[in-house]
Structure 1
Amino acid sequence: MRPLRIGVIGSWSGPYAGGGRQFDAGMAVWLADHKQQIAGRPVELLRRDVPGSAPEQARRQAQDLIESERVDLLTGLDFSSNAYAVGTVATQARVPTVIMNAASSGITGRSPFMVRVSFTIPQVTAPLARWALQQGLRDVCTVVADYASGVDAESAFVSGITAGGGRVGAMLRVPLNTLDYSAYMLRLRELKPQAVFFFLPSGQMPAIFLKFWRDRGMADTGIRLLATGDATDDHYLDGIGELAEGLVTSHHYSYAHESPANRRFAGAFETEYGSHLRPGYFAVAAHDALAAIDAALSAPGVRGGKAGAERLVDAFRGLRLDSPRGPVEIDAHTRDVVQSVYIRRVERRDARWINREFECTARVRDAGVA
């Protein structure tokens, strides 16, 4: 039987290489549990390294995977800019593409061949704005990385706060890979809002920001700090440690999520990789991407691989999964993910740092698209 050839585009080098390793680990755990097959077919994963945000390079790699390698599907895609570029290629070539991470709103709307199993920034940010208002935090400022997802986060949080009658004193944008937050800390100290919401991509940036927050004595001002779960990605959380203690975040997956599906997933992950590497939201999305592809290819009228690309994409619509993160479905109209979003707090448990979930909003859709 001809193998199912899947092109995977992500970061395996540079400052975001941890994302590529998480993609690999999540896929490996799913494949190990399914005899290395998807819908009864052996699988070939063809990886292409596109470090960070590099849309032109992502476009070229997608084109090569389609034209030279004749892949059946594309997946991966950590940065939204790369996903937009690949979406154009996927549309022209009519190749189904399953997004494992890229989280800017509207990506699936730009290509009829794209499906998302990860999350969107507005989807996980809007519930945090509502929670902040419930806590009486009505005077806020924002600090976000100046790129598509950062702007999405800023817009979602600000919209949520102002719709609830709150006030936004300042919206500060910082260049990607900023290393010095001194000026921003000074500005926030002058404004002294009740809370600061920040969004920075997973990796070193949140740790640097949190260190400046601590070293500049910002916690002593009484300002509450809030963020999306990108800041406390489980993959990096042990390294961030006490810098993030008590930080309240909102996201769709925590390593500490209490469910049988997550216990199986985390247990298999630890058996394969040891306790030094634990699954983050990149890994669970990679796991779920293969689960979704398997379910779609196993659907009536698709099984056997004879169906066209449009029929395969249609098989994703309305799909439901029992994911390690909780119930997940693909919206039949938008092909975007619908899922639970959790409010969490960073705590220490059994000598490890975790994101402990304490509040849940079920069946959340992308808040950034009408």
Structure 2
Amino acid sequence: MTRTPFAALVGVVLALAAMQSGRAQAPDVVQVGLVMPLTGVLGPVGKQAVAGARLYMAQHGDMVAGRKIELIVRDDASVPDNAKRIAQELIVNDKVAILGGGLTPSVLALAPLVTESKTATVVMVSGTSIVTERSPYFVRTSWTHAQQASVLADWAARNGSKRATIIASDWAPGHEAAGVFSASFTAAGGSIDEALKVPLANPDFAPFLQRARDGNPDTLFIFVPASQAAILAKQFVERGLDKSGIKLIGPGDIADDEDLPGMSDAMIGMITAGFYSAAHPSDLNRAYVAAFRKANANVRPNFISVSAYDGMHLIYEALKATGGKTNGDALIEAMKGMAWESPRGPMSIDPKTRDVVHDIYIRKVERVGGELYSVEHETFKAIKDPAKVANK
């Protein structure tokens, strides 16, 4: 017999009700579920996040406020429907009390479910501004594309850039970053010559770079997936744009710490705005990098790893504040306004928007100790998401 939509809805509600009562069955255990991409093209993203979360637990133990923390990791393969199904299974069957969210499409798919079940969810990967507006049970410890793009635009305008061309991948993060950079750069007195959209899959940057060169801007802002940044930088040099006087700039994503060691010297000199670099000069970060590399076959931690590491810190501190209680409303209330020192530097959670507030650094790719790193040269303090600030 075919189930009606109403019957299906009743089934979900009953399952969620069973989940709420079921959470009391194991009072000494708090299960945290991470729904991340662990396979496919974006598998490295999820693996960095899981590694960061596990490192936090290894360093801080698995007991908080008298409760034992258990981490359950599931692969959504970057498919939103998978993420939703997995999250429901985690909440209903595994009695997970807290979720950690990954990519933007997957996190958005979770919004109705976590709102209905009142499950506190820490967004550890997504950088899209609108995410935290989709559920009152979302709190972000990653970053927003708008934070990085707005800071970079302001810096560029103050450092001699007058005319910029944008090359951005044709997907939601690229649209957001390009839009914020354009608005911030023009507000600071600059002008945008052209905004070029590049296909996300198997792009050939050559014609777009040639078109940008023909326009002769003084600055080229790029936003592409980290895995494509090395190709773009190589073609930038091959086409002579590095000798043309055009400055190459972009968000921190394009100089991913996990990828930089395998990139060519074509990356040297690239200016980025980001919230984390493995070269961040603090004792806390040096210890974090050493511990991460030791635990992960000498892989360098990147901005995704520290976002999940901080996500676990937020979960631990919220549980301490609630005395170990996992009520979603109580946990979210405890998370609002929390502040701490991270390997990235000082950070906090905006109590009004539940979004991350942190420093954004202007970095230049340099060779240090024989490896490429993003070396910080300027700091913009306590940056909030500009999209939300503008809407207040």
Same fold by TM (over 0.5)? yes
Separation of aligned partners in 2, 1:17 and 1:38: 30
Separation of aligned partners in 1, 2:290 and 2:241: 38
Task: Report matched runs for 1:331-350 at 5 Å.
Answer: 331-350=350-369
Separation of aligned partners in 2, 1:156 and 1:185: 21
Which deviations, in whole Å up to 9, do the C-alpha atoms of 1:106-145 show, x marking residues without a partner? 2111100000011100011111101101111010011111
Task: Report matched runs for 1:45-84 at 5 Å.
Answer: 45-52=71-78, 54-77=79-102, 79-84=103-108
Where is the helix percentage greater, Structure 1 or Structure 2?
2
- Is residue 356 of structure 2 the alignment partner of residue 308 of structure 1? no
C-alpha displacement of 1:214: 2.1
Note closer, same or farther for the CA distance 1:40–1:173 as it changes in structure 2 (3 Å cut): farther
Partner residue of 2:4?
none
2:125–2:304 Cα contact (<8 Å) kept: yes
1:152–1:368 Cα contact (<8 Å) kept: no
Separation of aligned partners in 2, 1:96 and 1:324: 24
Of 179-188 and 246-255, deviating more is 179-188
1:330–1:336 Cα contact (<8 Å) kept: yes
Partner residue of 2:344?
325
Partner residue of 2:13?
none
Note closer, same or farther for the CA distance 1:178–1:192 as it changes in structure 2 (3 Å cut): farther
Task: Report matched runs for 1:1-370 at 5 Å.
Answer: 2-52=28-78, 54-77=79-102, 79-202=103-226, 204-274=227-297, 276-299=298-321, 302-305=322-325, 308-369=327-388, 370=391
Separation of aligned partners in 1, 2:219 and 2:64: 46
C-alpha displacement of 1:182: 2.1
Of 177-186 and 141-150, deviating more is 177-186
2:142–2:356 Cα contact (<8 Å) kept: yes
C-alpha displacement of 1:173: 1.3
C-alpha displacement of 1:245: 0.6
Q: List alignment gaps of at least 5 residues for structure 2.
A: 1-26
Separation of aligned partners in 2, 1:62 and 1:182: 41
Separation of aligned partners in 1, 2:228 and 2:385: 25
Q: List alignment gaps of at least 5 residues for structure 1.
A: none
Separation of aligned partners in 1, 2:65 and 2:163: 52
Which deviations, in whole Å up to 9, do the C-alpha atoms of 1:288-344 show, x marking residues without a partner? 011000001100xx1132x52111110000001110000110001110000000000
C-alpha displacement of 1:40: 4.1
1:4–1:72 Cα contact (<8 Å) kept: yes
Separation of aligned partners in 1, 2:323 and 2:266: 49
Separation of aligned partners in 2, 1:234 and 1:312: 32
Percent sequence identity over aligned pairs: 34
| Structure 2 residue matching 1:15: 3-state secondary structure | coil
2:257–2:278 Cα contact (<8 Å) kept: yes
2:28–2:66 Cα contact (<8 Å) kept: no
Separation of aligned partners in 2, 1:57 and 1:32: 28
C-alpha displacement of 1:39: 4.0
State the TM-score, normalizing by the size of structure 1: 0.94
Note closer, same or farther for the CA distance 1:290–1:235 as it changes in structure 2 (3 Å cut): same
How many pairs are equivalent?
363
Separation of aligned partners in 1, 2:256 and 2:192: 26
Which deviations, in whole Å up to 9, do the C-alpha atoms of 1:29-81 show, x marking residues without a partner? 211111233444322222221233x322222222222222221111031x212
Separation of aligned partners in 1, 2:76 and 2:265: 32
2:62–2:70 Cα contact (<8 Å) kept: no
| Structure 2 residue matching 1:177: 3-state secondary structure | coil
| Structure 1 residue matching 2:276: 3-state secondary structure | coil
| Structure 1 residue matching 2:34: 3-state secondary structure | strand
1:31–1:37 Cα contact (<8 Å) kept: no
